[in-house]
Amino acid sequence: MDREFIAERQKGLQNYLNVITTNHILSNCELVKKFLDPNNYSASYTEIALQQVSMFFRSEPKWEVVEPLKDIGWRIRKKYFLMKIKNQPKERLVLSWADLGPDKYLSDKDFQCLIKLLPSCLHPYIYRITFATANESSALLIRMFNEKGTLKDLIYKAKPKDPFLRKYCNPKKIQGLELQQIKTYGRQILEVLKFLHDKGFPYGHLHASNVMLEGDACRLLDLENSLLGLPSFYRSYFSQFRKINTLESVDVHCFGHLLYEMTYGRPPDSVPVDSFPPAPSMAVVAVLESTLSCEACKNGMPTVSRLLQMPLFSDVLLTTSEKPQFKIPTKLKEALRIAKECIEKRLIEEQKQIHQHRRLTRAQSHHGSEEERKKRKILARKKSKRSAVENSEEHSAKYSNSNNSGSGASSPLTSPSSPTPPSTAAALGLGKDVKEGKDVRVTPTSSTCASATSSSLASCEHRGAHTASTPGCEWREPRGLTQLHPEFPKRNFEESRNL
């Protein structure tokens, strides 16, 4: 096949995958994960869940499965079944099964004790758990089935039993809630978050699908998720911001997402949010800015108590007669505290890695840009020219030093009346006469001629002059003994060659 065609198809496929993975709901879809990472997502979690539920029914025969609720949630490793009690066949319940996640830091004993403790939690804004049990690898909980559905079902006008993608991925109509609903539901959710924070119970899983509607009240779901160590729905958002590093700040940030969805009928396109669309009240925008704006994500989240004091929620009156109750033994409180610290520590490490990766990506993108390439080419040319100039100067300096060292092998330039240098005079036996300033005439001997000739040739070779023939060297020597007598070199050389 044509290489250009293949490259074009690869580019198109990459763009298609980028669009899918940037969509928060699609990126968590089981089919997408199996396509991108088949090795880690090859198991059939529905079959695993059925096996665990079957084992449970052996010890609890009063329950009976009506039908599996396929894909009503977004988690791959969490499955749901519609249930009924044998002696109450008209009542419908929902069984949820989930295995352990990466943030499970409780010991098996503490984990099972806390899971079994959840049905005792009573709060007007927490959805009641009918039954809960756990083993060393998973947990199973049963709640009453609510035909009205969750807060997300209300926003998207969806049916609770429909698959998650069909309900929320491409809504037909986008419409937010009324201002009074936003105020009331928001206040109720903040109250239950404050209750859990005061109890030292980690949550971190707030989103519209985890808020059940019952009458005019919002009730929180899935308290067990933090005990199981499951990742949050919005983890890919808050893991980018290093100031959101506690479970309390995670809850506040997730509340910002929920408030945005209640106000505008859809989740934000990206976080942080630079500018907010028109809202029913400026008080809503003020809360959104404190939780989702660039400044908030950079500097940190407000506390739940601070949000309760803001104008949007401070004037909401809650009427409820149910008294909150959730007794946690001191030993389990300490286990929860340690587990919470471990969860936060892993989040901080993940944020650090993401920060380093983003810095590296920005640096690579910057150096790979066309502008940077041009700058590097210009700098490379300048450096090349500078190196050429430096090499030329260095070569000239070496050549000059070579000439100076070569001329040093012969005697320096002197006039006929100048005294002969001591070294030369001594070699010829003239030292005494030169010192007295007498007119010296050289009478060569054969040994003297040979020595002078070899010295002259060596000097000529050292200076890089003509070395092809002796006569060339003989007549090009301008220094040394030639100045003592004009005819000395020619005559001596000829006599020494005739020897």
DSSP letter string, 371-438 = HHHHHHHHHHHHHHHHHHHHHHHHHHHHHHHHHHHHHTTSPPP--TTSPPPHHHHHHHT-HHHHHHT-
Burial class (CB within 10 angstroms; exposed 0-12, middle 13-18, buried 19+) of 299: exposed
d(CA 254, CA 231): 13
Q: Give the three-class secondary structure for 244.
A: coil
Superfamily of domain 43-360: Transferase(Phosphotransferase) domain 1 (1.10.510.10)
d(CA 248, CA 236): 17
Between 23-37, 42-56, 214-228, 428-442, the lowest mean confidence (pLDDT) is in: 428-442
Q: What is the mean pLDDT of residues 100-123?
A: 95
Tell whether the model's pLDDT for residue 204 goes beyond 80.
Answer: yes
Tell whether the model's pLDDT for residue 486 goes beyond 90.
Answer: no
* Integer-rounded Cα radius of gyration of the chain: 46
Residue 212 half-sphere exposure toward CB, CA atoms < 13 A:
20
Phi, psi dihedrals of residue 164, rounded to the nearest 5°:
-60, -45
∠ CA 408-410-413 to the nearest 5 degrees? Answer: 90
How confident is residue 401, by pLDDT bands cut at 50, 70 and 90? low
For 439-459, letters b (16+ CB in 10 Å) and e give ebebebeeebbbebbebbeeb
d(CA 348, CA 354): 10
How confident is residue 428, by pLDDT bands cut at 50, 70 and 90? very low
d(CA 73, CA 206): 14
Phi, psi dihedrals of residue 200, rounded to the nearest 5°:
75, 20
The single-letter DSSP state of residue 303 is P
Q: What is the mean pLDDT of residues 257-262?
A: 97
Tell whether the model's pLDDT for residue 25 goes beyond 70.
Answer: yes
Comparing 424 with 363, the larger pLDDT belongs to 363
∠ CA 219-304-335 to the nearest 5 degrees? Answer: 75
The domain ranges of the chain are 1-42, 43-360
Q: What is the mean pLDDT of residues 228-242?
A: 95
For the chain, the distance separating the N- and C-terminal CA atoms, rounded to the nearest angstrom, is: 87
How confident is residue 443, by pLDDT bands cut at 50, 70 and 90? very low
Q: Give the three-class secondary structure for 335.
A: helix
pLDDT digits (tens, 9 = 90+) for 266-312: 999 899 998 999 999 999 999 999 999 999 999 999 999 999 999 99
Tell whether the model's pLDDT for residue 438 goes beyond 90.
Answer: no
**According to the model, what pLDDT value does residue 252 have?**
97
SS (HEC) of 355-369 = HHHHHHHHHHHHHCC
d(CA 19, CA 26): 9
Look over the chain and give the mean of its residue pLDDT values, rounded to a whole number. 82
**According to the model, what pLDDT value does residue 485 have?**
46
**According to the model, what pLDDT value does residue 391 have?**
79
Q: What is the mean pLDDT of residues 196-211?
A: 95
Q: What is the mean pLDDT of residues 99-116?
A: 95
Q: What tokens were used for 281? A: 């009240």
pLDDT digits (tens, 9 = 90+) for 44-55: 888 888 888 888
Tell whether the model's pLDDT for residue 457 goes beyond 70.
Answer: no
d(CA 324, CA 124): 7
pLDDT digits (tens, 9 = 90+) for 128-145: 999 999 998 899 999 999
Task: Using alpha carbons, select from 154, 277, 255 the residue that is nearest to residue 197.
Answer: 255
Q: What tokens were used for 140? A: 């199973």
Q: Express as a percent the part of the chain with pLDDT over 70.
A: 79
Tell whether the model's pLDDT for residue 434 goes beyond 80.
Answer: no
**According to the model, what pLDDT value does residue 405 have?**
56
**According to the model, what pLDDT value does residue 404 have?**
61
For the chain, counts of helices (H) and of strands (E): 22, 7
Q: What is the mean pLDDT of residues 180-204?
A: 95
The single residue listed with the structure tokens 């009641």 is 128
Tell whether the model's pLDDT for residue 261 goes beyond 70.
Answer: yes
Tell whether the model's pLDDT for residue 123 goes beyond 90.
Answer: yes
**According to the model, what pLDDT value does residue 245 have?**
95
Phi, psi dihedrals of residue 428, rounded to the nearest 5°:
-100, 0
pTM value is 0.72
pLDDT digits (tens, 9 = 90+) for 160-179: 999 999 999 888 888 999 99
Q: What is the mean pLDDT of residues 309-336?
A: 92
Pair 412, 421: CB distance under 8 Å: yes
How confident is residue 406, by pLDDT bands cut at 50, 70 and 90? low
How confident is residue 30, by pLDDT bands cut at 50, 70 and 90? confident
Burial class (CB within 10 angstroms; exposed 0-12, middle 13-18, buried 19+) of 65: middle
Q: What is the mean pLDDT of residues 399-403?
A: 67
How confident is residue 258, by pLDDT bands cut at 50, 70 and 90? very high
Comparing 464 with 404, the larger pLDDT belongs to 404
How confident is residue 365, by pLDDT bands cut at 50, 70 and 90? confident
How confident is residue 421, by pLDDT bands cut at 50, 70 and 90? very low
d(CA 402, CA 90): 110
Q: Which residues contact 290 (CB under 8 A, 6 or more apart)?
A: 256, 296, 301, 302, 307, 310
Comparing 163 with 410, the larger pLDDT belongs to 163
